[in-house]
Every structure is written in C-alpha cells, then in structure tokens.
Structure 1
C-alpha cells in the first residue's frame, strides 16, 4: 500500500495551508517580522557594545541567528495550531476524516505548511537585518536548512497542540508560558555558557538550545558545546515530533466525534 497515494489531494491541502497564511500576510508575515526587527533595534541601541564569548564577532552578529530561529519557531508553531483550532470553532475539523488522502499525507501537509511559514519568517528576518548588521553567512545552505529543520519540529508541535487543545487561549498559554521562556533560555539573546546554576543546566532539557546553536553555527561558523551532538539532537527532534504528530492524528485526538 502506498503511503502517498493521492498526490493531488496532498498538494491541495498543502497549498490551502500556505494560502491560508499568505492571504493575511500583514498578520502572519509582516507583524512577526516587524517584531523581530524591533528586538534588533532595541538591542542595537542598548547592547551593541556588549562583548560576547566569540572572538571576532559583535553582539548584533550574535543576535541575528537567534532572532531568525525564534521567528521561525513562533511562526511554524502558530500555523497548524491556529488552522486546526479555527476549524474546531467552525465545527469543520471532522471533515478531515473524509479527505481522500492518507493520514500521513494529511499530517505532512499541515506540518509542511507551517514549515514554509516558519522558514519564510526566519529568512526574511535575516534579510531585514542586513541594513543593521552587514555580515556574510558562513554557510548559506546550512543556514536555510537549519531554519527548515527548526520550523519542521515546531510545526509538528503546533500540529499536536492544534489537535489536543480546544481554544486559542490555551494555544496562547503554550506560546507565552512554555515556548517563549524556552526561547529566552535557549541562547537567542545571550550565550548559555555565561549562565550559572540551574539556568545553565536547563540547556540540557531545552530542545530550542540545539536548534539555535546549529543556526548560529551556520550563520557565524562558531558554536557553544558540541555542534555534532546538537545536530544529531535536532534530527532526533524532527523524527520524534513527526512520529508523535502522526500518532496523535491517527488516534483521532480532537477530530473524532465523541
């Protein structure tokens, strides 16, 4: 039995998810992009002379890959979660059961839609920072790949959240209370090596830290801790998050009528 047996149906669902966020681009693309640039503008005025642990780079160069990663995380998480919760409010989420495509095609379409949005936000964040930070990318291909990988992981998490949660307030709770603190403690704004005590130990259980670190390596060519371990962890996160997404969807969580 073919896993992907209805290419037309799969692409239709994928393009629907992409079109859904692209037609309201002011909210889904421009708003988070401006937010990231404001972060850079604020920090450029306050901490532009702050020294960092990486010799030969200034703080703004250090900050850019962190902001790009954070933008990708938030955008990719929001896309599938918002889409599914919206369908629950409209009482149309059950229609997913009638789509003539396999479960893996449905899951992949939603996740790839979020990945496209996350990668786009991360890439545009880098482009928008060029007037402030004129710095070449150490490995452009790897930088783009790291944004795609990060977006895939958090789009999968957003997909699971969209299935499991039944309201926007719960989705915003996950964003505000879980993902945002993890981002701040994941090396977006500062080197984890400069933290001490429990704040430093948190990096061992924070999945965002390896993702930020590999993106920073792709951008600057420098890293903290072991970049090979972090690369392996990122790939493991991708496999686990997708497998969990498919499992939750197959169980009918948030879709089956009770």
Structure 2
C-alpha cells in the first residue's frame, strides 16, 4: 500500500481537525493565549529586575521565547490527543479504519492539525508580547521554524497519547504530571544551569529544554549550553516521536476493536 494515495481524503481529514478546534477557538486558542499573557504580566512584573546571566538581556526578553515555545507545545499536544479521546468517548474511533486513506495520511492529518494549532498559539503568544518588549527577532526564519518543529514533535506525542490512553482523566493526568512539569523545568522561566542540585541534571536531559533553547537563540541570538547538540537532539526527538506515532497507528492500538 502506498503511503500517500488519496490527497483529497487526507485534506478532508486535516481540514476536519483544523475546523474542530477553530469552532471552539475561545477554549483552544484564546484561553492558552491569555494564560501566557498572564504569565508574562505576573512574572515580568515581579521579576523584571532579575538578572538572567546574559548582559543586555532583560528578564522580559528572556521570557518571551520560553512562553512562545510552551504555548505552542501545549496546544499541539492537546489537539490530536483530545480529538482521539473524544472519538473514543463517542464510540466513533473505529470509523478511522474505513477511511480510504493510508495510515501515514491519517497520522499526518492529526499531527499537522495539532502542528497548525500549536504554531498559531505560539505566534499569537509572540505577537501579544510585542507591546511589552518590541518585535525584534535575531533570526526570524529559525524562530518560526523552531516553533513549527516544536509543534510537530508534540502533536506526534499527543497522537501517541491519544491512541494509548482511553479517557480524559488519564490524558489530563499525563498533561498535568508529565508535560507541564517538563515545561516548567525546561528553561521557560529561568536558565536551566541555575537549577539547584539534581534538578539541573534533570533539566539538561529534559526533551523540552533543547526546543526552548533553540527558540531563545533564534529570538535573542544567545543560548545556553551547546546549540548544535540541541539541534541534533531536536531532530532526534522529531524522528522518534513521528515514527513512534506512525507505528502505533499502523498497529491499530486504541482504534481496532478486539
């Protein structure tokens, strides 16, 4: 079977996934955007005089790429994950087996739908910070590309979780206990090197840390650690996340009836 053979079916499924979250844009786009703005307002007001160890960089400028990355990955993760869980709840998940498109096309439709939502939230988060810190970006192409890659990775992770988990409680648990703490410890609000004790080592192996660092480098032109290593790690995460999601989808885990 060809990996791509029904572009119209693929585009239909992708359009459905995009339309699904745009119909409730207050929950899927506006709510996370407002949360990120509140983070900027609260942390920025409280810690605006805090030194970040980088000459000439204010804490607000340091915070923007972290919030942008966090907003993108959270939204990207939630879109395919909650879409699949909702279909399981409605007992329509098995309908995916009858779609006349390949497993690669089905997987990509869910992942690209999540990628689009993540990218949209990330860009809107950055746009909302312009009145506070200005619009300067050191490397705009890399900045937007980094947000897109981050969104693609976590949309793939969201697809995996949506297939494996079977209810909203487990999904919210994964989001609250795994994804959110990793985001907070991934350099969004502070330099990972300043974490105390064992937390600094945990931060260095945090898969979100390289993504935040690349986005910060694209935004400010500065970075923490080795940016080339982080670039390689991001490519590895992207490959592993996408291949894993494709394998699980092809096996029919969470889709096929037993």
Give the TM-score band, short-chain normalised. over 0.9
Q: Is the 8 A contact 2:2 2:102 kept in 1?
A: no
Aligned position for 1:71: 71
Task: After TM superposition, list the pairs within 5 Å mapping 1:236-255 onto structure 2.
Answer: 236-255=236-255
Equivalent position of 2:131 in the other structure: 131
The aligned counterpart of 1:54 is 54
Shift of 1:196: 2.9
Q: Which residue number corresponds to residue 96 of structure 1?
A: 96
CA distance in 2, matches of 1:176, 1:62: 24
How far off is 1:25 after superposition?
0.5
Please, which runs of 5 or more residues in structure 1 have no aligned partner? none
Asked if 1:30 corresponds to 2:25, the answer is no
- Residue 159 of structure 2 corresponds to which residue in structure 1? 159
4+ residue runs over 6 A deviation: none
SS of the residue 2:131 aligns to: coil
Match of 1:10 in 2: 10
Show the counterpart of 1:43. 43
- Deviation, 1:135, is 4.5
Structure 1: how far apart are the matches of 2:173 and 2:186? Answer: 19
Is the 2:72–2:147 contact (alpha carbons within 8 Å) kept by the matching residues of 1?
yes
**Deviation of the 1:59 alpha carbon:** 0.2
Q: Is the 8 A contact 2:77 2:158 kept in 1?
A: yes
**How large is the Cα RMSD of the aligned pairs?**
0.8
Instruction: Report the counterpart of residue 197 of structure 1 in structure 2.
Output: 197
**Equivalent residues, number:** 258
Give secondary structure in 2 for the equivalent of 1:84: helix
CA distance, structure 1, for counterparts of residue 135 and residue 251 of structure 2? 47
Cα offset for 1:199? 0.5
Q: Distance in 1 between matches of 2:135 and 2:202?
A: 30
SS at match of 2:19: helix
- Name the TM-score, length of structure 1 as normaliser: 0.98
Q: CA deviation at 1:144?
A: 0.5
Provide, for residues 87-111 of structure 1, a one-character-per-residue CA deviation record: whole Å limited to 9, x for no partner: 0011000000000000000001100
1:209 correspondence with 2:199: no
- How far, CA to CA, are the matches of 1:237 and 1:18 in structure 2? 24
Could you list the per-position Cα deviations for residues 41-83 of structure 1 after superposition, in whole angstroms to 9, with x for gaps in the alignment? 0012100110111111100000000000000111000000010
How high is the TM-score relative to the length of structure 2? 0.98
Unaligned runs of 5+ in 2: none
